[in-house]
Structure 1
């Protein structure tokens, strides 16, 4: 969940109860004020009636008046000093329903006789007025809430704008180009602290990257020369007829290990270049041509192991550097030959979006934890131990080129599949 969305939700959680409490308080306040005004009207009407009755001439000894809004009935109850006020509901015949009234009742004395004076005022219009007021209040509260959320969103968006600018610069950071972004100062103290930390961090990262890149390239370059010299010396020794059979065997083993060391040095340098994103290519590579090329190059090796080859190659153009395409196909196809059984089979299938290479093998399934890790060695029946970098290089190529590589095993078939989204 985005920070702005979370802060808006927190705002709603806090403001909705406050608005609800405020609306309830105002409703009760309005209702109390309306009842108070009605009670004052009833008391005033009672005073007017009292004055009228005091001055009226009545022939009968007992007076009886009774209507829904006013009644004066004889009673034996004692005289009350103060009137009683309460809300009642009275049945209305025209509407066939009960309507709210405000009622005043008091026992008074008139011409020596006690009477119960009851006066009522209808609350229907005032209830309608109160409902209208509540509707207006709810609409006003809803409008206030909407504009409060809108303004909060706009203000928060503007306040967090420097953060999103810095985030975009980090997302587009490319170490290989050594184009380190500069994070400008803002008018927010916390963002200034963040940008200062990012500036310091990007500077240190650029320095460390440059140092590591130079060290890797220099080490790989400097190692090639002595390795080539030693390899040349060993080849000269192999041509010496005075050496015994055991000496020749030792020199041959040393030469093989030296060649393996040279390949290891080359592969480690290649891995470093891939990880450092030193292969930039904007055009597309013809994967069909690359696949057919390596099938022809490995034709003698496959014939030597008497491998049956089944190939289905369709036109395919991938967004992949040509050098990386060569390495990817040669490593996967080379592994399919190297770990295959004598007289086994290889199936190569290429479509517009998928490269699938399947080979038979006596080796068990590659464990998930070690399929694409470095230096996970497997013994090779005809050529000693591998350096364990082939699949790791393939994984780095696919990761850096927006490709996906997967492995499937169904005895005795091992299948590697590379897919592209473009």
Structure 2
């Protein structure tokens, strides 16, 4: 979830209870104020009625009047000093329904006779008024909430614009094409600090990259030279006829180990170059000719094991790979399929615009998933001639250049599949 969306949601979660509590408070206050005003009107009416009844001259009068809004009748109850108020509902014939009223009740004394005086005021109009006020309040609060949310969203988007611009600049960086990154100056202190830190960090990363690139290039040159010299000297020694069989065997073992060391050195340097993305992808490469080239190079090995090759190659498949990486991918996967196959086995190669799959038979079981792409891991004793970097290099190349590398073992066959990430 984006920061701006999260901020808006948190703001909404805070404002909704506040607006709800405010609306509830105002609703109660309106009801109380209206009830207070109604009670005052009832008290005023009561005073007018008492004055009128006190001034009426009747010999031993006994009043008994009853209407929905006015009721007076004799009672034996004692005189009350204060009136009582309550809400009641009275049946209304025209509407055939009960209507809400506010009622005042008090026992008063008139001409030496106690009477219970009951006055009522309809609350229908006031209830309608409250409903109208509540609707207006809800509309106003809803409009205010929407306005605040939209305003907060636009303001936050404007405030965070420099951050997203800096983020875009960082996301577009490429180590092999890294130049000085210019971050715009903003009027926000924190963003200026962030941009300064990012600028310093990218400069250090670029310098480290250049140092690493120089180191790998120097190491490739400096280490291969003495290895080649040592191999040449051993080859000369092997031509010496005065050597005993035991001496020749020792020299052969040393020569084999030097060759293995040379391959290991080459693969480690290659791995470092891939990790540093020193193979830029300038254009898409047709992969079918690369596969055909290595099938031709491995032709002797294929014939020696009498392997059956079944291939389905799309000539229009172009992949985003550097030529050196395409060679590396095909030579490792196809070389393993040949090397660990058994005589008269099969190899199936399928190539489309997005998928390369190489399936080979083998007497070896499934490669454990936790050791499949780890460096220097040998899953079977028959892998002893391997330096343990082939699949690790292919995996590192796939990760660095947005390819997906999958493996499964099914029906006695090893399935390696490479997919171009969309």
TM-score over 0.5 for the alignment?
A: yes
| More moved, 339-348 vs 323-332 | 339-348
Q: Does 1:212 align with 2:212?
A: yes
Structure 2 residue runs without a partner (length 5+) = none
Compare 386-395 and 252-261 and name the one that shifted more.
Answer: 252-261
1:215-254 matched pairs, under 5 angstroms = 215-254=215-254
Unaligned runs of 5+ in 1: none
User: Which segment is superposed worse, 37-46 or 353-362?
Assistant: 353-362
Partners of 1:359 and 1:414 within 8 A in 2: yes
* Cα gap change, 1:90 to 1:268, in 2 (>3 Å): same
Q: Report the Cα distance in structure 1 between the residues aligned to 2:225 and 2:381, rounded to whole angstroms.
A: 28
Matched with 1:67 is 67
1:58 partnered with 2:42: no
CA contact under 8 A between 1:39 and 1:102: conserved in structure 2?
Answer: yes
Q: Secondary structure at the match of 1:116?
A: strand
Q: 1:81 to 1:379 in 2, by over 3 A?
A: closer
Match of 1:328 in 2: 329
Distance in 1 between residues matched to 2:259 and 2:268, nearest whole Å: 14
CA–CA distance in 2 between the matches of 1:232 and 1:130?
Answer: 104
Match of 1:120 in 2: 120
- Tell me, yes or no, if the aligned pair for 1:103 and 1:119 is still in contact at 8 Å: yes
1:375 aligns with 2:376: yes
2:167 paired with 1:167: yes
Report whether the alignment pairs 1:342 with 2:343. yes
Give me the whole-angstrom Cα distance separating, in 2, the residues matched to 1:416 and 1:398: 13
1:77 corresponds in structure 2 to 77
Shift of the 86–114 alpha-carbon distance from structure 1 to 2, 3 Å rule, reads same
Secondary structure of 2:370 counterpart: helix
> Which whole-Å CA distance do the structure 2 matches of 1:107 and 1:81 have between them?
8
Provide the C-alpha distance between the structure 2 equivalents of 1:412 and 1:22, rounded to a whole number of angstroms.
Answer: 72
1:9-408 alignment runs, 5 A limit: 9-58=9-58, 61-315=61-315, 316-377=317-378, 385-408=385-408
Contact 2:60–2:111 (CA under 8 A) maintained in structure 1: no
Q: Do 1:340 and 1:359's aligned partners in 2 also have CA atoms closer than 8 Å?
A: yes
Asked whether the 8 Å contact 1:42–1:104 carries over to 2, the reply is: yes
SS of match in other structure, 1:117 = strand
Offset at residue 386 of structure 1 (A): 1.1
Cα offset, 1:170, TM superposition: 2.0
Deviations 1:178-220 (A, max 9, x none): 3242444433333333333323322322222222221111111
Say if 1:378 and 1:386, in contact at 8 Å, map to a contact too.
no
1:409 aligns with 2:404: no
Contact residue 378 and residue 388 of structure 1 kept, 8 A: no
**Residue 63 of structure 1 contacts residue 73 of structure 1 at CA under 8 Å; is this kept in 2?**
yes
Compared CA separation, residues 345 and 64, structure 1 to 2 (3 A): closer
Q: Deviations over 1:208-260 (max 9, x none)?
A: 22222211111111112222222222222222223222222222222222222
C-alpha displacement of 1:56 = 2.9
Deviation of 1:90 after TM superposition, in Å, equals 0.9
Quote the Cα distance in structure 2 between the aligned partners of 1:35 and 1:118: 17
| Runs of 4+ with deviation above 4 angstroms | 378-381
SS in 2 for 1:101: strand
What is the CA distance between 1:411 and its match in structure 2? 5.1
Alignment check: 8 A CA contact 1:379 1:385 kept:
no
Taking the aligned partners of 2:106 and 2:342, their CA distance within structure 1 comes to 114
- 1:406 is displaced (CA, Å) by 1.2
Aligned residues: 421
Contact 1:173 1:180 in 2 (8 A): no
Q: 1:411 to 1:39 in 2, by over 3 A?
A: closer
